[in-house]
Each structure stands twice: as structure tokens, then as C-alpha cells.
Amino acid sequence: MQMRRWKAVGLMRRILSCAICTIAMVSLLSVHLHVFPRHSKLPDPYKLPNPFPVWRTNCPRLWKPVPNRDYMPCTQPTPNYTAPPESRGYLLAHTNGGLNQMRAGICDMVAIARIINATLVVPELDKKSYWQDSSNFSDVFNEDHFINALANDVKVIKKLPMEMGGATKAEKYFKSWSGMDYYQGEIASMWADYKVILAAKTDSRLANNNLPADIQKLRCRACYEALCLAPQIEAMGKLLVDRMRSYGTYIALHLRYEKDILAFTGCTHGLSPAQADELKKIRDVNDEWKVKDIDPREQRSKGFCPLTPKEAAIFLSALGYPSNTPIYIAAGEIYGGDSYMDDLRSRYPMLMSKEKLASIEELEPFVNHSTQLAALDYILSVESDIFMPTYSGNMARAVEGHRRFLGHRRTISPDKKALVRLFDKIEEGMKKEGKLLSDKVIERHKKRQGSPRKRKGPIPGTKGTDRFRSEEPFYVNPLPDCLCAQSRNQNTSVIIR
């Protein structure tokens, strides 16, 4: 009888010991595992990520920051800079294009208002472009902060004073890429006859180069310090960034394989004849797009087309990014439907988007406002560990410039002209993916990662408008105007989210 009691006690001890060990193991694991938000729509295998992702230990080359050579923002005015002079009149501005085209135009208008001694009325956003967005300035940007942040540079008001409502306005299409002489001469002379000047368009109205240092620095203060996004967009953007980071180090892929850009560029590679015809009809009816007849093969061979989702996948694989890399898709609706994403998704299953990171209820305030949705993509792109655009449009340029300003964060710019030749050879069976192809792609892109360099001037031999078109835009690369080596930088000013 006593032996049976001892056996029972021993059994009970073993059961208790196992239970204690199990509880301890669960507690230990719970410290390390991240639990994703309930709204996550990822496939089940990715609900709980590896707490020690492969790329963080095996692939440091892919993720480490590029050397920034100690360049830091230096946007403070020179000692000769004065308070805003007395205003001679009011400058109205009708922006044009999407979010980032309007953003650059607004910052140019700030500088132009300073040059011509004008009071700037908060610009009106484009509501008539392809996107048909009804958003006002205060829906997209922090209006009060914009006004207050520029108080020492330019007087900015929300609305034209009532007494000026009946005044005759001089509507003017400012000449593209114009310098100080044009604005101090032809435009400023209009104050003799008018008290209100309306800039009918705002994009590319100011030269990229050869402007006074204080004007260039003002453009940077306007772009990177004054023109902040609206609080509700900033809050949602931060929430999405935090959720994206819960999956680990991530790439923001600006996949510009969308209907509007394919129609504009005439790129039809991989599309059906019916789709190509649809794109041509869109181009034909858009009066803003001057070029109607486009050779898609020539466009692609010159590197003017956005990468397809399949090409983006091949490129990322060749660079060495493993299949478990989290990728945020910064884009609208992909042309051709979800099936066109299959090749990318098969290689990189951890594809995220706004719709996967947030619930329908959370995104509801921004739906039907393409500019506000683009602003969310902008935040996730600027804050990403790596940004890779597949087309060098306004969004890509704006994000690249902002990332340069914030410390030359890694931005991979695909050499599309060279890549297209490789993609075609792979498609024709003349080349295979593997180490040789990877080595070639990596070598070609060593200097296309966003490291510091001075802004590129015009292509030699170009003249007139083509000369200005060939320059690297100011907002793509603010070096040397707004970035100084740390040893020479005496006075910095930067606002980082």
C-alpha cells in the first residue's frame, strides 16, 4: 500500500514538473513573438514572422545604409537674408497634376512669391486632372503649419481678402524653368497694372539651377519643413509604417504599372491587343497629353517604360533579396488585374498594401481621394528601409529627394535600358537566372543606390527647352544647395517625422 502511495506521489511530481516547464516555455516564447493586428489579411504562414529574419544575419549588404559622407541638411538663410519685404500684391496659384507634381509646384510658388514680393494665397489643388480628386489644400496638407512655418520668408494667407474679390486678375502661364531675371522683370512689372496675379500652372515654373542660395534654401524649407501632410494623414501613415515594421525590415516598391502611366507612355509590353487599344484611346482623348502616336517597342528599348511586376521580381531576385522579404506595394490599381501580380507574388509572398495593413473602416476617410491615398504611399515610401521605383515619375522623384534630404536613405534606381535587354534574353531563352546574371545586375547598380552626389546638369549639346528638361530636377537631389558636409555645416534645420 505504501509503495503505491509513493508511486502516485512520484507521478504527480512528474506531471507538475512538465506543466511548469510548459508554462515557462510558453512565457519565454511570448516575449519574442510579435502578434500582428487582427485586421491583417496576410496568408496564414505569415501571421507570425520569424523573430530573427534571415536577411538581418545573412545579407547585411542588402540592407545597410549607403555611406552619406556626413552630409546634413543646411537650410537656414544666409546672414544677408531679411524679413519679407512689403507685399506688392497677391499671388494666386492653381496647381496641376497629382500629389507630388502639385507638391513641387507649391514650393516653387513660395519661392516665386518671395522673388516678386507677393502675399501668397494658399494654393488651390488640382481637381480636374486624370484623378478627379475633390480634396482641398487643408485635406492634404497641414495648412496652419504651412502658414506659420513660412512667416519669416513669405506672407501666406488662407483666402484672398474680400475687398480684392472684385479686382481684375492677371492670369498668367509662367514660363517654364525661369530664373530671377524673368520674375523680377516681366512678372514683377505686372504689379503696375494689377494687384492680383494668378499662376495658371505651378509645375516646373522655376529653374533648377543658377538661383541665389537663399532662394534654393527657401525651396527646401518649404518642401521639407513647411509643407507637412495633414494631421489625419500623418497619423494613419505612422500607424501603417508601424504595422509594416512589425514584419521586419521592408522594401517600398513603387510599382507604377497603372493605367494612366501606361497610357501616357504608350507602353504595352505583356498586354493584350485589346488592352493596348484601350490605352491608346485614353491617350487620344486626353488633351493635356500632346504625343499621341507612340512606338511601344522603342519606348521600352530606351528604358522609358515602367517595369512590369514580373520584371520587378526578377530584378529584386537578381539583387539578392530573399523570398521572405516584406514588400510594401506603393501603387494604385495594377493594370490588368490581380493576375498580373502572380509572378511577383510567387517569388515574394509577403506583399503588403494599404488594404492589407488597415481595415476598411480605417481607410474609409481616404477612399475616393486619390491624392490622400497617394500621401499614405508617400509616407511609407519615405520611411522604408529601401525604396525602389519602377518608373522615374513625380512620385519616385519626390521620394528620392526627400530620402536624400533625410540622410541619403537607400534608394535603388533600376537601369531600365540595360535591364530590358537582359529581360528579353531571359524570355528568349538566351540567358538564365542565376549567379552570372545576378553578378552583372549587382555590378551595374552599385552606383544607383542613393549615395551623395551633386545634382546633374543638362545633357551636353541640348538647347532651349530640351536643355532644361534634361537637367536633374531640384526636388530629386537638393545637393549642394540644401545639404552640407557636417564639418562645414554650422547651422542645420530639419524636421523628421
pLDDT tens string 224-265: 999 999 999 999 999 999 999 999 999 999 999 999 999 999
The predicted-structure confidence for 304-328, as pLDDT tens digits, reads as follows 999 999 999 999 999 999 999 999 9
Number of alpha carbons in the 13 Å side-chain half-sphere of residue 90: 20
Distance of CA 1 to the CA centre of its chain: 79
Contacts with 344 (C-beta within 8 Å, 6 or more apart), sequence order: 309, 310, 312, 313, 351
Highest mean pLDDT among 332-341, 450-459, 485-494: 450-459
**pTM of the full predicted structure?**
0.85
| Residue 18: band (very low, low, confident or very high) from pLDDT cuts 50, 70, 90 | low
Question: In the 3-class helix/strand/coil scheme, how is 399-450 assigned residue by residue?
Answer: HHHHHHHCCCCCECCCCHHHHHHHHHHHHCCCCCCCHHHHHHHHHHCCCCCC
Q: Summarize the confidence of residues 376-381 as an average pLDDT.
A: 98
* Residues 109 and 199 sit within 8 Å (Cβ to Cβ): yes
Q: What are the grid coordinates assigned to 413, written together?
A: 534606381
| Residue 65: band (very low, low, confident or very high) from pLDDT cuts 50, 70, 90 | confident
The Cα 442–Cα 186 span in angstroms is: 50
- What is the Cα gyration radius of the chain? 27
Q: State yes or no: pLDDT of 52 exceeds 80.
A: no
* Residues 248 and 385 sit within 8 Å (Cβ to Cβ): no
Q: State yes or no: pLDDT of 86 exceeds 90.
A: yes
Number of alpha carbons in the 13 Å side-chain half-sphere of residue 297: 1
pLDDT of residue 35: 34
Q: State yes or no: pLDDT of 44 exceeds 50.
A: no
> Bigger pLDDT: 451 or 465?
451
Task: Report the chain's mean pLDDT, rounded to a whole number.
Answer: 88
pLDDT of residue 496: 34
How many Cβ atoms are within 10 Å of 276's Cβ, its own excluded? 16
Q: What are the grid coordinates assigned to 485, written together?
A: 558636409
Instruction: Please name the residue that has the C-alpha cell 537656414.
Output: 76
Highest mean pLDDT among 139-148, 160-169, 288-297: 139-148
Q: State yes or no: pLDDT of 421 exceeds 90.
A: yes
